[in-house]
Structure 1
Amino acid sequence: MRAGAHIGLPARSLCCLVVCRGGPGVVERGGLMDQDMVMRARVMLLSANTRVVRGVTGLWIYRTLTPVEPEVYGSKLAYVLVEACASPLVRDLPEQRMALLDEAVEVATALSPANPFRDKVLAKALTARRREVEGPSVS
């Protein structure tokens, strides 16, 4: 089965997910998130049987659920966004890596200061973005 096939995503969909922040298929109706997509994301999350779902699927799940419950899923979205920058799918795409990191910083900054994971994920996102801006270190 190709990556993301179970939710209708193309095999090389990470780049698409960089551009489509809400994720493909997430439609707002009258300002409300499509509840079918939210339910699908919740089912996928529950069936994953892991603390953090990674990769394209994790990006889709957390991008779908973060607008609904930002304090619950925002820190995981920021974490997965930073991880996605190391993906082979964006290895040669510096603009997409920077877009992922900018989104991670934006999501982490939007978390409440009372969120116990905010400081950790924000520091991780800012560090990764700083490394991306500085470029590869020359030894």
Structure 2
Amino acid sequence: FVLYAPDHAGLFARVAGAFASAGASIVDAKIFTTSDGMALDTFLVQDTEGGPLTEEKKLKRLDEILHKTLDGRHHPRRALAAKRKQPKREAAFTVQSQVLFDNEASNTATMIEVTARDRPGLLHDLTWALFENGVSINSA
């Protein structure tokens, strides 16, 4: 997927939430902001089973949710909160979450590395927390 839209604080978090609430998982993302303030972001996404999104109905729903999210008619945080339940098999395994901050890797930014159990909406939750704390994402 390619997104070209006016860039603003929280855009990446909202888009990550839109993908998650539509049942898509972001495998890779490249985010750029043009000199005229437009976001040009590319996303490699999979369905919930780890396969490509090929079903026309799912693609149309994802497109609709992305557009509604961008114009404020869909709120991914609410949609994800309503869906969020930990499957019983995952509750049996403990994964220690870890967040590392590296100020040595770059002269202009702090690199944040997160280790956690993957789940629908994780990227949205992480990027939303950064947004709420005034952190701008320059690369993902």
Structure of larger gyration radius: 2
TM-score (norm 2): 0.26
Higher strand share: 2
Which structure has more helix as a fraction of its residues?
1
TM-score by length of 1: 0.26
Higher relative contact order (CA 8 A, sep 6+): 2
